[in-house]
Amino acid sequence: MTYRTINSLIILISMSCICLLACAPLANDKIEYKQWSIVYNKETKALDYKHEGKDILSGVFVKAKVGDDFVESTSYPQMSINKESVSDIFGKGEKFTVSYTGLAGKPDIKQVYYFYPEKEYFLTEVYLESESDISSNYIAPIYTTTKSAFLPSDETNRVLRVPYDNDAFVHYLSSPLSVEDISFEVTSVFNGKERNGLVIGSVEHDTWKTGIRYKAEENQYIAELECYGGVVHELTRDISEKPDRPSIKGHGSIKGKSLKSPKMFFGMFKDWRRGMEAFGEANAVVAPPRKWNSGTPFGWNSWGAMAEKVNYEGAVDVSDFIKNELQSKSFENDNVTYIGLDSFWDNFSEDQLRQFVEHCKANGQKAGIYWCPFSDWHGNAEAFVEGTNNAYKYKDIYIYADGKPRKVESLAVDPTHPGTKQRMEHYINKFKKLGYTYVKLDFINNGTLEADSFHNPAVTTGVQAYNEGMKYLSDLCGEDMFMALSIAPTFPSQYGTSKRISCDAWGAMTEGDWGTTGYMLNSLSFGWWLDRVYPFNDADHILLYKPQEAGDYKEGANRARITSAVITGIYMLGDNFSRKGKIPGSKEARDKALKVATNKDINDIARIGRSFYPVEGYVAEAPGKAEPVYMLETADCTYVAVFNFDKAANKEGNISLDRIGLAGKKVKGKELWTSSEVLVEESMLQYSVPPQDARVYKLIR
């Protein structure tokens, strides 16, 4: 044997040893990493999740559908655990692979866990692996029917339901821990008083719709928990009892020799609110938010008051009023406001659309417009699709369930179809040529619907179709156009510069309730963290006056409406401020805006461009209601916003400085609506809010 051969053999043996060390099987049945341990129970063949030595979930296993059959990891005779180093977009850490093998006629299951030294969470995903092609439309990396309790028995325990989209006035629910429900993409189980809690959700949104089904008991126990890719539901708009909206039988299937679940986030946090923000930030690592280098948009939208009667003369007059009366009084950002034409902009001629843009530019404004890229509102299946040179009719680009066109509010078109893409090019190129730099995109939840099939044969799920269509649309818009998502799924998120956090919220009130303002604040109460995945949350445009409901639009209520917008994100008014045109508005609308939309201290909050978060998160009057107190910390101060939803009584009380992160601090400041001095006694912030009003306290540390 030559020296070179011996040397090569030594190198080969050394490399093999390195490989074995890098991907080494564990001698025991336990994964341990810092505060986490995941223990394999040989009797049940399930896993127990522990955090700092405390049981979190017991009896966890993998459940998946293969073809028409279900498999569970507990049925497999062999289990092994391998460990290796990992370096990926989340950083350097350790990767553990739990392999379940040896079940005749079934694919192997590999569950991968990722741990990182600076993270309070781990990530996990499942692979189904087979020597021949298999299909699946359901994979649950985390499934348990074993009763678990990690919170004390306490009346402030809550479980969070997050909606799939913001259609049909669906609410976030912060429910006592004694309900059975399903959340979409993420949930949290937490204790309100102590704030500690669990956050579970999906950080990948390229293929699957993720559901988290929970059954809670006795305000303490998780009796069942199912975290899975493959949900279809009334709230994903895939199932409906309405006869004109055919339902789909199930989530689309994926096929191949190796099928992967969504990657799941699993974290225990001392403060569940920080956990929700960490979840949002993890999503932003996987799919970075759409770029936006300018500030928070201030402006106006036509839909709330002008609606279908929007007209050129009136919109130009609104532009002039905002220029002459509001922009000079702090209603602007970076010396710009956005003036948006909503639906029925086609009331304008081509020349008027162009002239409107030029008029806005002369007023230091940018013009916005509206479109529904995945909708056919007219329902004429034989009509030719715009921009296709009559190559396609609408019936060619619809998606179908059992051969019938799919529909939410409008008929849904296939995001992968060339006719749909040519239609996108037609409209977006038109808007850009005319000079519009802001487009409100509505009813795009149509694009995530499951279907019998899609034009692109490689696409088999609604989320895959949505990603293809939205990427194409985003590329057409380019980085300079603001893409404001209106009715839309929460995830995928990387295509929107903003997303409406709720459905239409123009400020109407009803007896015994705080109407759509309260409804919008419900979405902020439990969805504020979405400003981690979108550059901005959007509270929708605000109405300050309706002649037929004048009693509901008093100055105090309007202060609350303005406050609800500036603590959320985008700051848009919606009243008919015109005195000209086919539908002139009222001077009273202008007067009300001058009173409440020109407070520089309040408007400065909107310029920060971040959402406030709930101080408590468990004190809303009912599961679908809003929290009354919100806060935001900046580099030099803490803001606290307090709402009084009562129609008759003052709301007075105290907030412990400890609950707003100011324990032991000396604070001073003022209330921004009244310019009155902040009162702090015995480490308590005192507040007094008139009926249906709001107060905003700026506390200087």
> Does 622-700 carry CATH code 2.60.40.1180?
yes
Looking at residue 551, its pLDDT comes to 73
Per 3-state DSSP, the chain is made up of helix, strand and coil in percentages (nearest 5) of 25, 35, 40
Identify which of 122, 135, 147, 139 has the alpha carbon closest to the alpha carbon of residue 73: 139
| Type of residue found at 2 | T
Instruction: Tell me the per-residue pLDDT of 302-331, one tens digit each, with 9 for 90 and over.
Output: 999 999 999 999 999 999 999 999 999 999
Closest CA to 681 of 656, 652, 651: 656
The CATH architecture one would assign to domain 298-613 is Alpha-Beta Barrel (3.20)
Closest by Cα among 226, 232, 219, 308 to 264 = 226
CA distance 610 to 333: 14
What order do you get walking across the sheet with 668-671 strand by strand? 613-614, 629-633, 637-644, 693-700, 668-671
Q: Who's near 506: CB < 8 A, 6+ residues apart?
A: 304, 516, 540, 541, 542, 543, 574
Of all residues in the chain, the percent with pLDDT exceeding 70 is: 95
pTM: 0.95
- Type and span of the H or E element at 100: strand 91-101
Token digits of residue 259? 């099928």
Element (H, E) at 397: helix 394-397
Mean of per-residue pLDDT scores for the chain: 94
Positive/negative CA dihedral, 353, 359, 362, 363: negative
DSSP-derived secondary structure letter, 325? I
Rounded to the nearest angstrom, the gap between the alpha carbon of residue 275 and the centroid of all alpha carbons in its chain is 15
Pair of tokens at residue 369: 């417009």
Long-range contacts of 275-279 (CB under 8 A, 24+ apart): 275/120, 275/121, 275/188, 275/197, 275/198, 275/199, 276/186, 276/188, 276/199, 276/529, 277/529, 277/532, 277/613, 278/119, 278/120, 278/121, 278/199, 279/121, 279/186, 279/199, 279/201, 279/203, 279/529
Q: Are 685 and 657 in contact (CB under 8 A)?
A: yes
**Ramachandran region of residue 660, left (φ > 0), alpha (ψ -120 to 50) or beta?**
alpha
Mean pLDDT by 10 residues, the chain (701 residues): 44 42 67 97 97 97 97 98 97 98 97 97 98 98 97 96 96 97 98 98 98 97 98 98 94 98 98 98 98 96 96 98 97 97 98 98 98 97 98 98 96 98 98 98 98 98 98 97 98 98 75 72 97 97 85 90 96 97 95 98 97 97 94 96 93 96 92 95 94 96 83
Specify burial of residue 217 (Cβ count, 10 A radius: 0-12, 13-18, 19+): middle
User: Among 522, 483, 532, which Cα is nearest to 502's?
Assistant: 522
pLDDT at 509: 56
pLDDT value at position 507?
A: 65
The domain ranges of the chain are: 24-142, 145-252, 298-613, 622-700
Q: Which residues pair with 337 in a beta bridge?
A: 365
